[in-house]
Amino acid sequence: MTNNILVAVFVAFLSVFFVLICLLPKHEGELSPNERRVLVTAPHASVDNILGGGFSEEVDAWLEDHFPARTFFVSVYSYINRLTGRNAVESIILGKNDRLFPAPVEIDEATVADNGSMVSEFILANGLNAYTAIIPSSGYMLKDELPALHLEYRDDEIIDLFEGGCGAHSTPIDVEAFFKAQDDVGSLYYRTDHHLTMRGSYLLYTKIAETLGFTPVSESEFTKTSYDFYGTSYGGSGLYLTKPDALETWLLPQDPAIEVTTIDGSIVTVHSGTIDHACLEDGVVDKYAAYLYSNHGYTSIVNPNVESGVLLVLKDSYGNAIVPFLTSHYHEIIMLDVRYFSSSMELPSETVERLGITDMLVVYGIDSAATLRELAWLR
């Protein structure tokens, strides 16, 4: 009798699941607002795909992404992990003050040193005055807010290896020491994202500007606007009860006159101003993409109010919020993001020669310094 009841319950569950999976709307190929990734499309039912085993894998992935009430179950799973102590080994770690920390980056010492060496070779080959600013992670900087059990953050080792690879050909900017000297280090990092807040980006800009020999623009000269923001750490955590961050724009009166040109392969797009305001509208998932129109292989930023000076910046997404501050000191800034390079684009050394560039800044988060594989484009 008991077995019959269990079978009936199981069949009923499968029946309800089948009806729901058939009737509920699907969001194939759409960006999940919570998870910050594109949901998989329907499986490709071809003879070759079925016989090769790819079809069954695609079915599994499709079911995982379109399971009824999936967001609810993902969130429940994440909170259960937190309550049972498994939070410490997740890819996103919940710490104090509702802060979500990305897990530590794994170190491949040879890769880190090689990355520094490739940057050094480029600097030397092009006769550049170079500076490096490697930004440590929030988990490394805010250890007091981590849970009692957590994996070790070895950012200091990564920075030493990268800068050691660069050798004497670049001047390192000690971001760690500079940030630790601030009153509230927590305010320099988002709670739900791995990036620096605009306050953190501005303070790092002041350090960079002073190192480059400029007087930083006073904070009082900027017009600030704030928006609710959920970052990528929120999306990967499943902890969807976390309160939002405040993402800000800091703009000078001259900003609308700044021309930003992005190049992706053969696609050239020209923008006015350093902020993509469309990304700040309600309902947009990735508001951080507003800074300099997100990531592109090649970005030119021209400020007509500054007569001279060209700076080359090798950057990842951290640079999108930092570099706009530097436009007050250069007529043109060229940003290179080698993650988005293609063979149809001008090589960095060709850009340096064409524009007569003499100064270079490297702005990388700790992940890029440790794991970036595309620096072979730096030639």
- Which stretch of 54-68, 194-208, 236-250, 315-329 has the lowest confidence by average pLDDT? 54-68
For 86-97, how does the pLDDT look when each residue is reduced to its tens digit (9 = 90+)?
A: 665 578 888 998
Give the contacts of 134 (CB within 8 A, at least 6 positions apart): 158, 159, 162, 163, 172, 175, 362, 364, 365, 366, 369
User: d(Cα 98, Cα 138) in Å, to the nearest integer?
Assistant: 13
- Count CA atoms closer than 13 A to 221's CA, side-chain side: 10
For the chain, the 3-state helix, strand and coil shares in percent, each to the nearest 5, are 45, 20, 35
Q: Write out the two tokens for 22.
A: 């058939």
Which sign does the torsion angle of CA 357, 130, 365, 324 carry? negative
Structure tokens at 224: 């600030």
234-257 pLDDT, tens digit each? 988 888 888 999 999 999 999 999
Express as a percent the part of the chain with pLDDT over 70: 77
Number of H helices, E strands in the chain: 13, 14
Structure confidence at residue 250 (pLDDT): 98
Average pLDDT over the chain, rounded to an integer: 88
Tally of CB atoms within 10 A around 18: 10
pLDDT value of residue 78: 58
Backbone angle region of 85, left / alpha / beta, with phi > 0 → left and psi within -120 to 50 → alpha: left
Cα 204 from Cα 198, distance rounded (Å): 10
- Alpha-carbon distance of 365 to 137, in angstroms, equals 7
Judge whether 143 and 96 are in contact, CB under 8 Å: no
